[in-house]
Chains A and B, each alone.
Chain A
Amino acid sequence: MINFAFKLLLNEKKKNIPLTFIFIIIVFLISSLIILTNSLNKITQLQLENQPDITIFNQKAGRNYPILTDIKDEISNIYGIKNIHERVYGFYKPNFHNLDMLIIGFEPFGINVDKNIEKIVTDVNLSSFLEKPSMIISHGLYEIFLQYSTFGYIDSFNFFLEDSTKFKLHINGIIDKNLDIVSDRLVLTNIEYAKKILGYHDSEATDISIDVSNIDEIDTIILKLKDKFPNFLIIKKSDLKDSFKELYSFKSGLLFAISLLLLSTFLLLTIFKSTSMDIKSIKEIAILKAIGWSINDILKLKLTEASIIAIFSFLTGFLSAILYLKYLHGAFLIDIFTNSININSNIKIQIFLDKFTFFSLFFLFVFSFILINIIIAYKSATTNIKEILN
């Protein structure tokens, strides 16, 4: 039966090749989009794994204010807290290239909460770093500086402080392009310089991060914190993760619209293909019936035919989507997601593929294709044979 179905398909090359081709393209586009969103989501989730268990902001009337670092002592009295850190970070906007630099302060001799920064910092030659005010910048930022090298940004950069005076930071190192970092407009510097540039006083920080010893106690600790500082915004890591999930679980309208459009094209094409069953294939069905095939046998044949096309196209489309994401890093498509501060635009996509995504995509395409095909084949299988053959 499979053999026979194959031969019949090959006899109708003109009709089947364009259909298979379109099928492949649509599977390719939709699977790329979905695997991409899934993977970006996974990557962010992994990055968020490095975040502290609890983060405390000084929020008044819904706005963020610098938080006073002396509350650290008060917090450390709560049982179950492993460590407390102050963190300083923020955006600095120089007047060229429409640039937004992300400035993150770190403690050269302390423990840094963020594991990624920890990794970068361990590679730095500390003695030269401490000689004069220095910074480590990301590769993307370095390339922008190169474009403006006439301004002298080749080994240092002048930041304007609150009181309009200049503050010079020397470039001490450039972060490897292949490292997984939050932004490619990143500046890493000593925490005290970061405070200076971002306009914090010595006893202030952007937020305070807390790690707990036992993850199950998080909710109790948060309750205690809330009790102590009713004004502060206290964020749990899992809540942060959920809110990012939300961000990617269909970058809202656009993706939804695209995939819906593609799906309807797919359906229309399938219906079109099947209804345009020419006199030849109807005659084939009639001959088969005349030589003793039952409607069920014909149905099986059509099912096999449709399955061959559907499975072949699906696997090809799906595999090429994976290859495209793996070797071309989702060129073009990824622009939908980047250009926002959430993602480093030089991001390397790691492909995360779960069984469920595969099966739901498979189900979606193969099932709907076979469904439409069979019903229409059935309709022609039940037409009267006598009229066609005489």
Chain B
Amino acid sequence: MLNFYIELLFFIEILTFIISIWALFINFKLYFNFNFNSFSETQFKLEQQSYLQKTIIYLTLLSSLALIIFFIFALDSLSFKIKGAMCASGIINSNDFGNLTLIAKLISFFLLSFWISIDYFEKEHKYYPYIKIKIYTFFLLFIFLILEKFFLINFFLELFDTSIVKCCSVIYSNSGTNLFLGVDFKIWFIIFIISFLSSCLKNSYITLVFETLFLISSLILITNFFSSYIYELPTHKCPYCMLKHEYSYIGYFIFLTLFTSSIFNFIYAILGMFALKDEKLSKIKRVSIFFKILFVLLVIYFPISYYIKNGVWL
């Protein structure tokens, strides 16, 4: 079952993991010994090592972004081997670990970007005000990196025993239930709109709550509503097919704008909670809103253009 892409995936995964273990060691040292007020040699060395950790985290961010795309691509390359699978979604849903892997990958990507943006703010200061947040974020991040690898290995081990999957049959269904997580789609739509409008609010806690709602409702609506307009097929509901070249890779733009705006807004909220008042914080907010508007324009373009062309809703 191994092919070149999966081999490559594992190779880069292992490489990235090894360097992140290095970063973990540094993180432990920082956790136990970092004390800005100390003038000891150890402190001096630690400040130097924090730069090394930063490089590693930058590189991990870069490779984890590439690996998410690669993961989906590699799965797509497998889809002909497993009966019933038509694209990555069939493979990814073939066992429980597929979606877990993807979620863990996304969370670790978010934590990496979070770490880096804190570091970006810290650079302005002549002391290390955010070091504690960075240390804890990294510990959390490492847990997700391990989880991600664990899920990934289990996913492939189970996948190699699978010969037939249901593929889109679940996603393809048109069973008429308009419920997701027990909530009607109309309500999800209202949540989507409200949380979108509230993204210009400044309060950290409100931002955190609404951004979470926005992310969840967006993902649900992309899968269940917008996707059928992208494919122009009422029964085709799948978040993965839009990543293929048949749909000119539009999915990458959709998800990229969504995740970028969410990541920035979460960073804004969390940094605000720590009462870190920074001029650049409002810049982050503006970037977030920019991407959010881009995302919303992108997704509503498909239903609207469909309606204009055909005069009906799907």
Contact = CB atoms under 8 A, between A and B. Distances in A.
| Chains A and B in contact, CB within 8 Å | yes
Interface of A: 34, 37, 242, 245-246, 249-250, 256, 259-260, 263, 267, 295, 299, 356-357, 360, 363-364, 367-368, 371, 374-375, 378-379, 381-383
| Interface size band for B | 20 to 34
B12 A374 contact: no
Contacts of B66: 363, 367
A344 to B, nearest CB: 24
Contacts of A356: 73
B12 A364 contact: yes
A245 B80 contact: yes
15 contacts: A246-B81, A249-B3, A250-B3, A250-B4, A256-B2, A260-B7, A299-B55, A360-B4, A363-B70, A367-B12, A374-B55, A375-B19, A378-B51, A379-B52, A382-B48
A250 B66 CA distance: 23
A382 B66 CA distance: 28
B117 interface: no
B80 A378 contact: no
CB-CB nearest 9 A-B residue pairs: A382-B48, A249-B3, A378-B55, A378-B52, A295-B51, A242-B80, A250-B3, A371-B59, A364-B8
Contacts of A375: 19, 22, 52, 55-56, 59
B51 A242 contact: no
Nearest to B41: A384
B235 interface: no
A240 to B, nearest CB: 12
Nearest to B73: A356
A27 to B, nearest CB: 14
Given A367-B12, A371-B19, A374-B59, 12 more contacts: A249-B3, A250-B7, A256-B2, A259-B7, A260-B7, A263-B11, A299-B55, A356-B73, A363-B66, A364-B8, A368-B11, A371-B59
B5 interface: yes
Nearest to A241: B80
B126 to A, nearest CB: 14
Contacts of B209: none
Contacts of A249: 3-4, 81
A34 B3 CA distance: 10
Contacts of B12: 363-364, 367-368
Contacts of A242: 80-81
A357 B80 CA distance: 18
Nearest to B19: A375
A382 B51 contact: yes
A363 B48 CA distance: 30
Nearest to A267: B15
A375 B19 CA distance: 9
Contacts of A363: 8, 12, 66, 70
Contacts of B63: 367, 371
B137 interface: no
A267 B12 CA distance: 12
B106 to A, nearest CB: 20
A154 B8 CA distance: 53
A176 B188 CA distance: 67
Nearest to A371: B59
B3 to A, nearest CB: 4
B95 interface: no
Given A259-B7, A364-B12, A371-B59, A250 B80 contact: no
B49 interface: yes
Contacts of B51: 295, 378, 381-382
Contacts of A37: 4
A299 B7 CA distance: 30
A364 B80 contact: no
Give the most central of A242, A249, A295, A379: most B CB within 10 Å.
A249
Interface string B57-81: 0010001001000100100000011
Nearest to A368: B15
Contacts of B70: 360, 363
A250 B5 CA distance: 10
Nearest to B62: A367
A312 B63 CA distance: 21
A267 B15 CA distance: 10
A135 to B, nearest CB: 38
